[in-house]
Structure 1
Amino acid sequence: MNYVQALILAIIEGLTEFLPVSSTGHMIIGSSVMGIASDPFVKLFTICIQLGAILSVVVLYFKKFFRSVNFYIKLVIAFIPAAVFGILLSDKIDAMLESPLTVGISLLVGGIILLFVDKWFNNPTINDEEEINYLTALKIGFLQCLAMIPGVSRSGATIVGGMSQKLSRKAAAEFSFFLAVPTMFAATGKKLLDFYQEGHQISNDQFQILIFGNVIAFIVALLAIKSFIGYLNKNGFRIFGWYRIIVGLVIIALILSGHQLSII
């Protein structure tokens, strides 16, 4: 992986991390097109730079992270399902991370769902994170586990999951962002541990590329997140649904017609 490839993937990550379109899915497709997706370091890179993007949440919502201990209890409760399933299904998740076809199908199915969520969940009663109880946090945490399937979208699963529990679009989106912080810290730590346990080492050049990717993802995400919240409040999910459907169909059509997007 060179710096140009790292830049492209980091921009993709920063732009898509908070959108319900699957940042991981887009990075899998991007790395596949560039012919680098099978490289173990690239797989590590695509997970680790998500942490850079997520840290933009801490900067933008700095005060909320020091609001109360109860805030952290809810994040821990919501995080537990992903931690458990992430450990139990680690090998299967890694296998799916190598499949653009899985991404295409997930994008398509998720897009169809997004076309209807604004009608399904249009009577919210919770408008702020402080109103979320522990059981609701746990339910959102279980729905986050769906995002272990590449192409589903962690933000999409948790935002729609929050809306299904009577959260407003804004409250669901913000809780999704908060939950991403412990989730991506854990995912990054586990991926680094797996990388070393498999006998790989990070060279000085690769370490610099990792830092570079995280910085770019952080800056791009910082610029993108507020725009997304504003757009979501006004317009809902339909445009993201249609985008997912179009991209998913294109990916599936390319693979079925014999184009070498798949790396397995």
Structure 2
Amino acid sequence: MIIEVLKALFLGFVEGITEWLPISSTGHMILVDEFLKLNVSEQFLAMFLVVIQIGAIMAVIILYFTKLNPFSRKKTAAQRKGTWRLWGMVLIGCIPAAIIGVLFDDWVHDHFYNGIVVASMLIVYGIIFIIMERRNRRLEAQAAITPVRGKHARPDAAESSIFRTTTVDDIDIPTALKIGAFQCLAIIPGTSRSGATIIGGMLSGCSRVAATEFTFFLAIPIMFGWGIVKVIKFLAAGLVMSQTEIAVLVAGVLCAFVVSVLSIKFLMGYIKKNDFTAFGWYRIVVGIIVLGYFGAKGMGLF
């Protein structure tokens, strides 16, 4: 049991980092599982890889509790109304993904959960991030409000001039639906839910900070809902978790929570001074390595 718990802690560590950085948590979890096999049932593993995300989402709730709490006595009536409005935009943004997820979850899992798909999506969206950020830097340079600091750095004033929505509170219904539509792309492993929604947010006119925070908030109902669905399917199939599997689940969720707190703080601090180019290159490098590995494996080289 101890060995399996240690494996679960490592998986929780990977989940906590990759869930919020736009590099695909599900994709990395599938890849890690290729080398670090949990001694659990196949049905439990499929459920675990989703339910572990609940630990990650609890980090968002804790870190943004005041902002997301519409009942806070510290808020004015107008602020509470604004919080309810934000929740409304979040729920609207979840509609497309909820529909697609319910209809195609099992089919996608059966056909696309493999290393080749993960690697391909890592590379494709890595290229998209790089192209999008080059466009943004060009527009920021044209704005010429403040000088660019560093190769991938960006001035806040210039950013404000090229994005019409600079805070998450200003996101409206059409923008929420557009971002929600992009979130549907994340059903393919390797895409990255946060990556897809950040790209969708920025292409819809949101600043990096606004798009990233809205991505965090969108995850709350989606990931909780998805986790509950997976547990229900597991139990409805008449399956029962062993003591080892229970320990694995608890360890993974708790580790994902702790690491997610650190990851979220890092990402929000990073994007206030930098763009997403580095994440794009990371995705491409990892994708190429993974393609090489599975290609060699397919040829029987190891």
Give the TM-score, by structure 2 length: 0.82
Rounded Cα–Cα distance in structure 2 between residues aligned with 1:32 and 1:12: 14
Match of 2:55, SS state, is helix
Partner of 1:112: 127
Match of 1:20, SS state, is coil
Rounded Cα–Cα distance in structure 2 between residues aligned with 1:236 and 1:88: 35
Pairs within 5 Å for 1:171-186: 171-186=210-225
Rounded Cα–Cα distance in structure 1 between residues aligned with 2:246 and 2:299: 29
- Give per-residue Cα distances to partners, 1:62-97, cap 9 Å, x unaligned: 111124221211111111111100111022222246
CA change 1:221–1:164 in 2 (3 A) is same
Rounded Cα–Cα distance in structure 1 between residues aligned with 2:41 and 2:190: 18
Residue 114 of structure 1 contacts residue 241 of structure 1 at CA under 8 Å; is this kept in 2? yes
CA change 1:164–1:108 in 2 (3 A) is same
Task: Give RMSD over aligned pairs.
Answer: 1.9
Deviation at 1:211, TM superposition (A): 1.6
Deviation at 1:259, TM superposition (A): 5.7
Q: What is the number of residues matched between the two proteins?
A: 261
Residue from 281, 291, 295 that aligns with 1:252: 291
Q: After TM superposition, what 4+ stretches of structure 1 lie above 6 angstroms from structure 2?
A: none
Rounded Cα–Cα distance in structure 2 between residues aligned with 1:65 and 1:207: 31
Match of 1:234, SS state, is coil
Partner of 2:177: 138
Partner of 1:201: 240
- Give per-residue Cα distances to partners, 1:132-166, cap 9 Å, x unaligned: 11111011001000000000000000111111111
Partner of 2:195: 156
Partner of 1:126: 165
- Give per-residue Cα distances to partners, 1:23-63, cap 9 Å, x unaligned: 11000000111234972212211111111111111111111
Residue 113 of structure 2 contacts residue 189 of structure 2 at CA under 8 Å; is this kept in 1? no
Partner of 2:93: 78
Query: Are 1:89 and 2:111 counterparts?
Result: no
Residue 21 of structure 2 contacts residue 263 of structure 2 at CA under 8 Å; is this kept in 1? no
Kindly provide the amino acid, as one letter, of the partner of residue 15 in structure 1.
I
CA change 1:260–1:129 in 2 (3 A) is farther
Residue 117 of structure 1 contacts residue 237 of structure 1 at CA under 8 Å; is this kept in 2? no
Residue 56 of structure 2 contacts residue 260 of structure 2 at CA under 8 Å; is this kept in 1? yes
Match of 2:191, SS state, is coil
Query: Are 1:98 and 2:104 counterparts?
Result: no
5+ residue gaps in structure 2? 70-79, 140-161
Partner of 2:8: 6
